[in-house]
Structure 1
């Protein structure tokens, strides 16, 4: 059986690793959203939107 101090140390290391991963994910998402907000490019080819005709059974 492991001692309580070893268990607490392992838990502290695990929680620190999770915190680092969460911080990195937050920074990556912030950079992605900032870049997508700043870079306002439209697609080279825009497809026309065509409305779908409703059948008489659904109306």
Structure 2
């Protein structure tokens, strides 16, 4: 997920911060960019939470 974010959302964001203009100023591009940004951000947070719970189970409940 982080690799997908780094290859799609991060370059577009850096371009906006450097040049103060969006690559493609179409509604479709903006909707896809917003969807990818929010979807990947939420997915990464859920995966980290799930991995933390699994790690806790493996470490502290070794009889399972």
Question: With CA pairs under 8 Å and 6+ residues apart, which has the higher RCO, 1 or 2?
Answer: 2
Gaps of 5+ in 1: 43-59
Number of residue-to-residue matches in the alignment: 39
Greater helix fraction, Structure 1 or Structure 2: 2
- Give the ranges of 4+ consecutive aligned residues of structure 1 lying more than 6 Å apart after TM superposition: none
RMSD: 1.8
TM-score by length of 2: 0.52
- The structure that has the greater radius of gyration is 1
